[in-house]
Amino acid sequence: MNKTLVFGGSGQLGQCLQAVAQARGFTSIVFLAEEQANILNQETLRATFEQHHPAYIINCAAYTAVDKAEDEVDIARKVNRDGAENLARLCGEFGTTMLHISTDFVFAGTGNEPLTETDETAPISVYGLTKLEGEQVIPEHTAQYFILRTSWLYSEYAGNFVKTMLRFGKEREEMRVIWDQLGTPTYAVDLAGALLHIIESGSTAYGLYHYSNEGVTSWYDFAVAIFELGGLPTRTVPIRTAEYHTKATRPAFSVMDKTKAKTALGLAIPQWRASLVKCMGRLK
């Protein structure tokens, strides 16, 4: 089987890919942590490509500290744009297919219709801008790429909204959570499955895709579901975005249309609450 390299293999999505690959018996996959293959170190990257000659790479490495990015613009751009370019350049040279993860933060979030891949991008944060720059630079170096924009990632691994809410739910009687930002939580295990499906299917339907779980919710309703499924008596209070100050601005509406991924890639996408139930079962 063709070899796959995963960059950022020790992060949340990388850990989910490890679990899904193991469950599926997908063995020709190598997980590289940042210290093994830093996507900013071109010399090390080239040596890695020369050693493995991968048929596919999955780039899970990213600068995702949304608020911190407002102050660390150069670092965010180096990782999210330059790192993606370094990988794309080598993919073009070695004939490797690149799978790259992007974000709903490339949109301004001012509309109220599900966003398609052809909708105008207008990031309102440094994180969103640098991720968009990463998307834009990949096609300059390779035609063999799949870019998957995702949203609100969580899982039983690493730090994320679900685990934070469960921790707070045990410590606090009341949680104030934003209700006027709408999007779709995405179980990173489902995203990992979708990435491996693309590789296993041998698809050549290259391009840009949207992938999140199905449905739409607010952070408030997401939190309510977490407390309910976790059996926690926490009282949840809905608040407006304006009442919760953050350094970076978030899109108010970032629900993505997945029609293209379902038709062109043959992906079956679970509803967000059904996937949350699975994750909560594993966390218990």
Residues annotated as catalytic are 127
The partner residues of 70 in beta bridges, in order of sequence, read none
Q: What sign results for the dihedral spanned by CA atoms 163, 211, 244, 72?
A: positive
Question: What ranges in 230-271 are assigned the alpha helix state H?
Answer: 259-264
CA-based nearest residue to 185, from 223, 159, 142: 223
Distance between CA atoms of 161 and 55, rounded to whole angstroms? 34
**Cβ contact 146:210 at 8 Å:** no
Distance between CA atoms of 265 and 205, rounded to whole angstroms? 7
Distance between CA atoms of 220 and 180, rounded to whole angstroms? 8
**N residues, the chain:** 284
Contacts of 59 (CB under 8 A, 6+ apart): 7, 8, 39, 83, 84, 87, 98, 99, 100, 101
Distance between CA atoms of 145 and 205, rounded to whole angstroms? 9
